[in-house]
Every structure is written in C-alpha cells, then in structure tokens.
A and B are shown apart, each in its own frame.
Chain A
Amino acid sequence: MDRTSRNCANDLVVKIATVNGTGSASANGFLMQAIFRMGVPVSGKNVFPSNIQGLPTWYEIRANKDGHTARSERVDLMVAMNPKTYVQDIKEVKSGGAVLYDSSWPLAEELMRDDVEFYGVPLSQMCVENFKGARQQILMKNVCYVGVLAALVNIDLHILSDIFEEKFGKKPKLVELNNAAVRLGHDFAMENFECPFQSYLQVMDGNKDSVIMTGNMAAGLGCVYAGATVGAWYPITPSTSLMDAFKGFCEKLRQDPESKGNRFCIIQAEDELAAIGMVLGASWMGARAFTPTSGPGISLMSEFIGLAYYAEIPAVLFDVQRTGPSTGMPTRTQQGDILTTAYASHGDTRHIVLFPADPSECFYLSVTAFDLADRFQTPVFVVSDLDIGMNDWVCDNLEWDDDFVPDRGKVLSAEQLENMDQFYRYLDIDGDAIPYRSLPGVHPKGSYFTRGSGHDKYGRYTEDGALYQEVVDRLKEKVDSAANSVPEAEIIQNEGVQIGLVTLGGCRKAVLEAVEKMEADGLSVNYLRVKSFPFGPEVEEFLFSHELNIVIEQNRDAQLMKLLIMETDIDKNKLRSVLDNKGSPLSAQTVIDGVEELISQSMATVDGS
C-alpha cells in the first residue's frame, strides 16, 4: 500500500471487538489514555451488551488532530478478537484499512478481503507460552494486543509503562506483567510487520489543560461541589455510575475529620418511586438532594414529579437516557426523553430541563441545576445520555470559583419569620411569581401544610376553581420566567446564511464536525445547540433568522423539533429533521448525509421538478 499518498498522522479510528467479561475494558482504557498523553485529541466509546459475560463488545477509539472526536463510521484498523463477530467486523473495515486478529487459529479463507491488510498475531499461543494460569493468560492477551497496536500506530512504550506504574504501583508484579505483555505484542509486530501502519500517531500538543472524564463521573462531582447532601437512587444502566461517583467522591472528601461521620447520606431505594420520594422529603427539609436515573425511572417517578411541581419543592433529577421504549436497548444511547422530561407528570406540568453536551457540561450544569431548583422551587432535570454518561471524553480541565455562593432561593430565616405578621407559603409578594419558602423546624411561624391537593395562594386546602387556578397560573408564569435564567444556547451564526442546524446534548461534536466539513465543501450553515428548556429568546430568534432550520436529534419522533413547534412561534414549515435512533453515538457522516438530502429535496421543491 502506498504510504505516502496522504498524510495519515493523527487521524485514526481503531475498533476493538472483544467478548465482555474478558478484561478487555481496562486494556482499551490504557490505549485511550496513552493516546491522550501523546497530546492527540481522542475519544473512546464502549459499545456493550446488557450482559456480564460472554457477549460481543466493541470499543471505538478515534484520534483526530483537529479535535473531531465524535464517533466515526470509518474503521481504519479493526482489532478482531471475537470470532463470533468476525464476519461483520471484517466487513466494516474501510478499503485500504487493516485487521488485527489472533492467528493462533487460522482465519477462514472466505473472510479474507483483498483490499484490507491482515495482521495475524498468535496472541493466545504467545500468552499460553509466556503466562501462567488461564485467568492471567486471558487478561494478558488484551494487554498483548495493546502492545501490537503500540507498534502499528506508533505509541511510545514508556507512556504505557508509566500508566501501569500509576495504576498498579502498589503491586510491582502486576506492573511487570503488563509491561511484559505489551513488549511481547510490540516485539512480534516490529519483527513481522512493517511498522507503523499507514495511519499512525505522533506526539502533538492537543490536550493541554485537558482531562479524561465520563459524564456520570463529572455529574457526580458536580453534585458534591453544588453541596448536595442527600442522594437517593435505584440502580439502572446507564445512570448507576453517577451515584457510584458521588459516593466515591463523598467518601474521600466529605467525612468529618474528627468523628469520621459522613456529611452526606446516600440511600439505595427500593424503586424509583421511593428514590424521588426521598429526594423530595430531603429537599422539603432544606437539603440539596438529587436522584440519577434513566427513562424507565422517570416514568416511575412521574406522579411525584407532579407533586414537586405543584407543591413547589426543589429537586434535581439526572436522566441518563438510553434507548426506549420499555427496556429497549438498555446499553445503547438515545435522546428519547426530551418531551417526557419537559412535561413529566399528569395535569398541567412543565419543567426546567438542562441538556449537557459533554462531561464538562455535566459538571457545571449539575451545579446550575441545584441553583435553578432552589431559585424556582421546582424539579430540574439534567438530561444527558449513555454516550456522555458512560464513555471517556477529553474535556477542558474543570475549574471551581472558590467565591461561589449557592443560590438557595427565597428561603426565610428564623429572624425573618419572627418579624413577619403572618407567613403564607404560596403568596407572590415580589410579583415575580416566586413565593417565599420556610423550612421545617426553623420557626413556629414558618409552619404550613405541604400538599398535592388543591390549595389557594395562602397554602390552604381548596376546591374553589378560581383559587386553584390562580396558583397553577402563577406556576406557569414562574417556570416560563426561568427562560431568562437558564443557560443560553450555544450559537455559531454568520450573516446571510440561510440554513440553520439546530441540535442538543451529545450530538454537539458530530454536528460541529459536519458544519466544518460542509463549509469546506462549499455549503455554509449556521449552528445552534439548545442547552435548556424553557427555551431562551435566542432560540426563537435563531429559528426566525433562517429560511430552513434542520433539527438534528437522536430519536424517532423528532422530539426537539416538536418542542420547538409547540414552544416558539416558528412556522413549522421552516423546520426539518435529521433523525438517528439506532442507539450509537451520532456521526458527522449521518448529519452530512441527512442535511444534504434535505437540501436537495427543498431545491427540488423550489425548482418545481
């Protein structure tokens, strides 16, 4: 193959096909971390089954010098370690790419392709010869292919050995073992293949002030920094690691130095109904409390969400979306809960929803969510997805302002209550639709009856239609007014451009890459990423300033587009959809194909042909 025909440095997609439960996840993580340390922007996406052991798993690493680290459908190098998926894995490799396979057993003739390079390495055989015991042999086979890849794509072995040192420093034998496995694979490749392979890596400076994070880890940390003290949850993929992270950080950072008591309380509830109930109980008492869940959990929590909205109790809910409906594909990603969260519960309800695009935003928007929940005394949703929540992303280093003061909203102190003639919980004194709140136990004058049944503005039980309506109308005004306080949309807009791309959440990277590529191909488009609901005025302005707005989202029913139609004055004929709901993170190619097809359609309409 002609190695000089194009510059293939730092533009690489490696896909690793393994079987889950064999320990490949940590080996893949080392690989991604090593590339990160070379300074090359990179992402690692785990495609895994809802299973513990024995089913196919893939890990996709994309390294790209321009920072394009959305999922790519192109595969330069396939590490085919699972014979059960050989057929599809080999088929996926791009023409001119390569397959690395375990040649301890011969590859069937019919699987071979002429346009692809096959690197056969007798990994199993080498591991059996060099390591002791079945468990070690299986584990080291993964580290061994990391060594082969290091040779093929040019990763410095010192970087890998540093990683082993940091990870297993306390167990020198383990460090030695991993280094030996890497060398085994590396030496074999150097002796038998022309290294590096046509797509390779070289050191650059693209990850300065960056860290590798998952969204759940960042959101869990955000809850710590926001001052959340009560977390209640029921385990559900893909949100579980959020509470695991919160717990881990709290155990490290939130123990009373003297008593060793916890300055936090995490309760694993019996179900999601109880989890949100616990959050509301804690918030009612004045704690910052949250629950992480996924779509099915939101469905179960819906009754309580209505109570929180109506009784005006702050709460933060994380919805790490997965493919629905029902159990759906629980280990695949989707953006299927946009409408559900915006209007969760029965009766007239609407909620503040934040849509982080990456782990960094998961951290910052978690803190924002608690402030908004306290300020507006209402549930706030932070809606991410499996791709953001569970995959490894390279993000800017997180920063914290030590002068930050949390916005606890209109909470009356004992002194304020003492000086009041009479406290009424739901009275709009300031004319901003937000009443004052008292916390239990603070002062006798602050007591009131929290209830989900009809109440008037004085907090008294009522079945009088006009008095009921007065309160729910104020609630609408209150949540609508949050449009001016929620984070603004991210916008890239040039004058005179007629087409706007509108997206949200984890689609960001793929859409931005598509925008850049289309621009290079002569098609200019503007870009808006919704960050919050209710929509700020900038969203409607953007829609009005384009002839055509293409809404890109990962669900079947165009949920964001429908929300835009319902919640802005935009003519629905000015909106079109590019939808992707197969469960994988979005790729730029999907966006480009979708946009180009829509544009050719609309041209056809204009031509009248």
Chain B
Amino acid sequence: MSQTAKPSVRHPSLEVNKLGLTQRDYEGSMSTLCAGCGHDSITAALVQAFYELAIEPHKVAKLSGIGCSSKTPAYFLQEAHGFNSVHGRMPSIATGANAANRAMSYIGVSGDGDSLSIGLGQLCHAIRRNVDMLYIIENNGVYGLTKGQFSASADVGTKAKRGEENRMGPIDPVALAMSLGASFVGRSFSGDKGQLVPLVKAGLSHKGFALLDVISPCVTFNDHQGSTKSYQHTRDSVQEVVEADFVPVLHEIKASQASGDVTSVAMHDGSVIKFRPVAEGYDPTDRDKAYSHIASRQAQGEVATGLLYIEEGSTDIHSFENTVEKALVDLEFEEVCPGNDVLQALQKHWR
C-alpha cells in the first residue's frame, strides 16, 4: 500500500487529447489497495479510456458502493464528482442522479460482494430501467475488506485461502444481465488492458445500461492454488469470443477495417463499435445465441470474454419516463412552479 502523493508537475512532452488534457489529468489520488491488485489495472484502463474519449472530467459522475472495488473511484478522474455510497446501493444513487441530470456521463464501480449479494436487487432493477451508465463489477470472488469470505460469484469447488471449499453455485453477473434484458454486456480480465480499454470506451458510449464484468484477482485473499479467480486460473480459462474495437465519433471508418468478418454497430453519439467474432459463428447482437454460447463455455470451465451482447438502438430510462431533453436540474423555477392562478383554478374543483 502506497501513501505517497503523486507529483503535480506534468512533463511538457506528454501528449494531449482534443481537450488539451494529458492522461495524467484523468488520474486520481494514489491507490491504497494491495500491490498487484487487479482493481488497479482496471483503474489504469479507465484512465486511458476517458483520456482517449476526451470526456471533460467534471462532466463525469463516478459512483460506488462499499468494498475494495468501491474505493477505486478515488483513483481516477480527480476532477469528476465522486460518490462513495452505502453497501450495495450505488445503483439507486446513480438512477436518481441520472434522472435529475441526464447531461452527465455515469460510471459505477462495484464488486461481486457489493453487486451480487447485498446489492443484487438494486443491480437487477438498474438493468431493468436501462439507466444510462457504465457499470463495472470488479469481480474477485471474495470479500477483501472483511478478510476473505466467499462472495456469491465464487465458483463451485474453489478453495478459500484457509482451505475451505465453496459448494454453492455462483451468481454469474453476465448470465444475470443477459436474462434481465441488459442492453450491453461485456466481460474482461483486469490483466488484459488491450481488451479492456475498448470495452470501457464502448460501454461509456452505449446509450443505456452497460454491464462490464471484469475478473480482477485479489492478490491477498484469492490468488492461491485452488482458487478459480486467481491470475493463473483466469489466464488459463479466459476465451475471448468477440474482439471489440471502439471508434470514436468523427473518426472515419476505413473500408479495409470493415472488411471480412468485422461488424460495425453505431452508437447514439455517432461513434462506432466494431467487433470481430473470435469464436466461430458468435453473434453479439443475438441475445439467445450469445447466452447459450456463454453457458456452454462455462460448462467447460471456460470464461467467455469480450463484447458478449449489444442491443442496437437501445434507449434508456428517460425514454420510459418521457422526460424533457433538458436536464431536470437545469429547469428554471418558473418552468416547474405553476403559480397562483393555476392554484386557484384547481381548487374550484375541490368545493
């Protein structure tokens, strides 16, 4: 655990994005997680993704619940507004915030304990409402802050550090999200930044709820032999089924890139996700086929990763709610208070 502050001086040769910001401007404070924690790799991927997308940091709301993973919003986007809420309840905070201010970008960072046990209900309902946000589950199969209890994502047969074996079946966030009708589902591995960064960018650009399950090994409590969420086991069992690339708005898609088996999906902001199935016949726009492929991989002890499902033309909570385009927080008082004449007219019917 490192407690030293980062130097604030930037090297003059650092590259800048179209906002004139360097990648350093997208960093946060020093991580206090264990050295080698998978979560820190995810944080690095987030920094790179936000930098490359050139999103204004203060237009981002970063939210979390409680747990090791939920500490990470402090480690990226110093200038974004952060909300470290209560255990398992981040989805409701994000839902209310998004209802009030649709003009912001929302990213929620949670863990398997926070999302799949105490917060399972809220996660399901945020998916169901299609809240416009990227929701990352930093999935390590254990409770870290309380020292190594199994979480609900622990696989059957996985062993705890002290040798205890888990016998209950896991709740798989990907299968859950697919069955609940999530409009964007991806899975990745904290150790594969090349795969993770485009997935994060695609998730941020997706209109609606984007769930990204990231296997993120816990070096302290779940990285031993016998664990199915260790670095070694994860490297051995991940099978990328779809390779995704993300093309931001205004980038021309060259014909050569779109050739062969590459498919493009246009996002609501004009950007494009291109994907290439690695597994034969895999189609991430076909929910049923995707689901059955993922399940069959799982039965073989493999973890399917990549952009697993995307719904083209997805809408979000605001279309269900028919809210005005303008963020509700930007409405003037005169636009929401009807005034005395209306009050008097209403009361004529109450006599």
Q: Which residues of A contact B (CB under 8 A)?
A: 36-37, 166, 210-213, 221, 224-230, 232, 249, 253-254, 256, 259-267, 269-271, 273-287, 289, 303-304, 307, 397-402, 404-406, 439-444, 446-453, 461
Instruction: State whether B322 touches A282 (Cβ < 8 A).
Output: no
Which stretch (B97-105, B148-156, B185-193) binds chain A?
Answer: B97-105
Instruction: State whether B338 touches A440 (Cβ < 8 A).
Output: no
Instruction: State whether B329 touches A285 (Cβ < 8 A).
Output: yes
Name the residue in A266, A307, A405 with the highest tally of chain B Cβ atoms < 10 Å from its Cβ: A307
> Which of B82, B99, B325 contacts A230 (CB under 8 A)?
B99
> Which of A263, A278, A406 contacts B92 (CB under 8 A)?
A278
Given the known inter-chain contacts A227-B336, A263-B328, A441-B104, please indicate yes or no for A285 contacting B321, CB distance below 8 A.
no
* Interface status of B1 (Cβ within 8 A of chain A): no
* A461 CA / B28 CA spacing, docked (Å): 14
User: How many chain-B residues does the 8 Å CB contact rule pick out?
Assistant: 59
> Which of B84, B333, B335, B350 contacts A405 (CB under 8 A)?
B333
B56 to chain A, nearest CB (A): 8
- A249 contacts across to B, CB distance below 8 A: 346
Instruction: State whether A281 touches B78 (Cβ < 8 A).
Output: no
> Which of A265, A277, A447 contacts B328 (CB under 8 A)?
A265
9 smallest CB-CB distances across A and B, nearest first, come from: A277-B92, A281-B96, A278-B96, A287-B100, A261-B324, A281-B97, A440-B81, A282-B100, A281-B93
B80 to chain A, nearest CB (A): 6
> Which of B56, B78, B338 contacts A225 (CB under 8 A)?
B338
Given the known inter-chain contacts A213-B350, A279-B96, A400-B343, please indicate yes or no for A307 contacting B324, CB distance below 8 A.
no
Instruction: State whether A277 touches B93 (Cβ < 8 A).
Output: yes
Which stretch (B57-65, B158-166, B261-269, B298-306) binds chain A?
Answer: B57-65
> Which of B322, B325, B343 contacts A399 (CB under 8 A)?
B343
* A10 CA / B35 CA spacing, docked (Å): 82
Instruction: State whether B89 touches A304 (Cβ < 8 A).
Output: yes
Instruction: State whether A402 touches B92 (Cβ < 8 A).
Output: no
* Interface status of B79 (Cβ within 8 A of chain A): yes
* A280 CA / B79 CA spacing, docked (Å): 21
Instruction: State whether B324 touches A256 (Cβ < 8 A).
Output: yes
A103 to chain B, nearest CB (A): 35
> Which of A212, A273, A286, A447 contacts B350 (CB under 8 A)?
A212
Q: Which residue of B lies closest to A404 (CB)?
A: B337
Given the known inter-chain contacts A274-B122, A289-B100, please indicate yes or no for A447 contacting B336, CB distance below 8 A.
no
* A276 CA / B92 CA spacing, docked (Å): 8
Given the known inter-chain contacts A277-B93, A449-B74, A451-B84, please indicate yes or no for A270 contacting B100, CB distance below 8 A.
no
Instruction: State whether B98 touches A281 (Cβ < 8 A).
Output: yes
> Which of B92, B331, B342 contacts A229 (CB under 8 A)?
B331
Q: Which residue of A lies closest to B318 (CB)?
A: A265
Given the known inter-chain contacts A262-B324, A280-B93, A281-B94, please indicate yes or no for A225 contacting B61, CB distance below 8 A.
no
Instruction: State whether A277 touches B96 (Cβ < 8 A).
Output: yes
- B281 contacts across to A, CB distance below 8 A: none
Name the residue in B84, B344, B346 with the highest tally of chain A Cβ atoms < 10 Å from its Cβ: B84
- B57 contacts across to A, CB distance below 8 A: 444, 447
* Additional A-B contacts beyond A283-B96, A285-B97 (13; CB < 8 A): A224-B338, A225-B338, A232-B99, A265-B99, A270-B124, A273-B92, A274-B92, A277-B85, A277-B92, A285-B101, A286-B100, A400-B343, A440-B97
* Interface status of B167 (Cβ within 8 A of chain A): no
Given the known inter-chain contacts A270-B122, A441-B58, please indicate yes or no for A284 contacting B83, CB distance below 8 A.
yes
* A221 CA / B346 CA spacing, docked (Å): 10
* A443 CA / B58 CA spacing, docked (Å): 7
- B343 contacts across to A, CB distance below 8 A: 221, 225, 398-400
A306 to chain B, nearest CB (A): 8
Instruction: State whether B324 touches A259 (Cβ < 8 A).
Output: yes
* A166 CA / B338 CA spacing, docked (Å): 24
* Interface status of B170 (Cβ within 8 A of chain A): no
Instruction: State whether A303 touches B82 (Cβ < 8 A).
Output: no
* A265 CA / B323 CA spacing, docked (Å): 7
B329 to chain A, nearest CB (A): 4
- B336 contacts across to A, CB distance below 8 A: 224, 227-229, 254, 263-264
B157 to chain A, nearest CB (A): 33
* A225 CA / B333 CA spacing, docked (Å): 9
Q: Which residue of A lies closest to B92 (CB)?
A: A277
- A447 contacts across to B, CB distance below 8 A: 57-58, 78-82
Given the known inter-chain contacts A232-B96, A287-B101, A443-B58, please indicate yes or no for A277 contacting B89, CB distance below 8 A.
yes
* A278 CA / B78 CA spacing, docked (Å): 24
Q: Which residue of B lies closest to A211 (CB)?
A: B350
- B81 contacts across to A, CB distance below 8 A: 440-441, 446-448, 450
* A355 CA / B343 CA spacing, docked (Å): 23
* Interface status of B168 (Cβ within 8 A of chain A): no
- B2 contacts across to A, CB distance below 8 A: none
Q: Which residues of B contact A (CB under 8 A)?
A: 56-59, 61, 73-74, 78-86, 89, 91-101, 103-104, 121-122, 124-125, 129, 318, 321-325, 328-329, 331, 333, 335-340, 342-344, 346-347, 349-351
Instruction: State whether A287 touches B329 (Cβ < 8 A).
Output: yes
A449 to chain B, nearest CB (A): 4
- B331 contacts across to A, CB distance below 8 A: 229, 263
- A461 contacts across to B, CB distance below 8 A: 74
B114 to chain A, nearest CB (A): 13
* A453 CA / B87 CA spacing, docked (Å): 11
Q: Which residue of A lies closest to B93 (CB)?
A: A281
- B58 contacts across to A, CB distance below 8 A: 440-444, 446-447
- B340 contacts across to A, CB distance below 8 A: 399-402
- B349 contacts across to A, CB distance below 8 A: 166
- B94 contacts across to A, CB distance below 8 A: 281
> Which of B61, B80, B92, B350 contacts A269 (CB under 8 A)?
B92
- B104 contacts across to A, CB distance below 8 A: 285, 440-441
* A273 CA / B85 CA spacing, docked (Å): 12
Instruction: State whether A278 touches B99 (Cβ < 8 A).
Output: yes
- B121 contacts across to A, CB distance below 8 A: 270-271, 274
Instruction: State whether A287 touches B328 (Cβ < 8 A).
Output: yes
Instruction: State whether B351 touches A441 (Cβ < 8 A).
Output: no
- B322 contacts across to A, CB distance below 8 A: 260-262
Q: Which residue of B lies closest to A455 (CB)?
A: B84
Instruction: State whether B59 touches A211 (Cβ < 8 A).
Output: no
A481 to chain B, nearest CB (A): 26
> Which of A284, A406, A446 contacts B97 (CB under 8 A)?
A284
- B101 contacts across to A, CB distance below 8 A: 285-287, 440-441
Instruction: State whether A263 touches B335 (Cβ < 8 A).
Output: yes
* A453 CA / B73 CA spacing, docked (Å): 14
Can you give 14 contacting A-B residue pairs, CB < 8 Å? A212-B351, A230-B328, A254-B336, A262-B321, A262-B323, A263-B323, A267-B129, A273-B122, A275-B92, A277-B85, A280-B93, A442-B58, A444-B56, A451-B82
* A453 CA / B86 CA spacing, docked (Å): 9
Instruction: State whether A441 touches B96 (Cβ < 8 A).
Output: no
* A397 CA / B347 CA spacing, docked (Å): 7
Q: Which residue of B lies closest to A254 (CB)?
A: B336
- A439 contacts across to B, CB distance below 8 A: 329
* A166 CA / B351 CA spacing, docked (Å): 11
A26 to chain B, nearest CB (A): 15
Q: Which residue of A lies closest to B88 (CB)?
A: A273
* A264 CA / B99 CA spacing, docked (Å): 9
> Which of B78, B124, B321, B342 contacts A265 (CB under 8 A)?
B321
A347 to chain B, nearest CB (A): 13
Instruction: State whether A452 touches B93 (Cβ < 8 A).
Output: no
A544 to chain B, nearest CB (A): 40
B123 to chain A, nearest CB (A): 10
Q: Which residue of A lies closest to B97 (CB)?
A: A281
A232 to chain B, nearest CB (A): 6
Instruction: State whether B93 touches A284 (Cβ < 8 A).
Output: yes
Q: Which residue of B lies closest to A281 (CB)?
A: B96
Instruction: State whether B337 touches A267 (Cβ < 8 A).
Output: no
- B342 contacts across to A, CB distance below 8 A: 253
* A276 CA / B96 CA spacing, docked (Å): 9
- A211 contacts across to B, CB distance below 8 A: 347, 350-351
